[in-house]
Amino acid sequence: MERKRGNYEQAKTLGMESMALACEMEDKWQLAGIVGWVGLLTVFRLDEHDLAEALLEESLTLNREIGSWEYFAYSLEGFAGLAGAKAQGGRAARLWGAAEALRKTIGAPLSIEGRLYFERSMVAARAQLGEAAWEEAFARGWRWRPKRPQSTSWEKATMPDSITLARKGAHTLPAGVNS
């Protein structure tokens, strides 16, 4: 509610309190969603890039562990916004492309509200590259697809081993997405 009112600092404070409660309750599902949400807030509304990076790393890790691919995609979109804010337009485009590819694969398109939320960052990243370079980089990210599991349950799926987040600042994603 505070985010919708434009009270971003208060929203962040409440989000951090919610994270503490989810940790205390040992609720990994809630924690994964909250950490990602606060990470997105810090990228797109507060421009706190160091905090955003740490939160988004944790969000990717948690969402990968629990198999929450929609929130994994939100984290990729957060990293895309972060790359755009750091004038890394090519990386931003590849990450947006990878996030959209994942969303298409899992059948979870970004909502209109979500698209509006990310629009400022996407426009800035496009402007950094120019239209042709943006389209080429976006297509490189788009070509990445997670392997579809045999079962219909995405909760049991695993992401490719090529996704590693251990190197701070590197965020190695599938071939072609990060480089």
CATH 1.25.40 for domain 2-156: yes
Are the beta carbons of 143 and 174 closer than 8 angstroms? Answer: no
In whole angstroms, what is the distance from residue 97 CA to residue 105 CA? 12
Are the beta carbons of 145 and 175 closer than 8 angstroms? Answer: no
In whole angstroms, what is the distance from residue 5 CA to residue 95 CA? 29
Residue type present at position 123 = V
Domains of the chain by residue range:
2-156
User: Can you tell me the mean pLDDT for 86-111?
Assistant: 91
Answer yes or no: is pLDDT of 140 > 50: yes
Residue 166 tokens read as 């251990």
Confidence of residue 159 (pLDDT cuts 50, 70, 90): very low
Scan for tokens 């944790």, then name that residue.
Answer: 58
- The larger pLDDT score, comparing residue 98 to residue 179, is at 98
Tens digit of each residue's pLDDT (9 = 90 or more) over 101-127: 999 989 999 888 778 878 888 888 889
Q: Up-side HSE of residue 51: CA atoms within 13 Å toward CB?
A: 16
Question: Residue 10's closest CA among 49, 18, 32, 119?
Answer: 18
Q: pTM here? A: 0.75
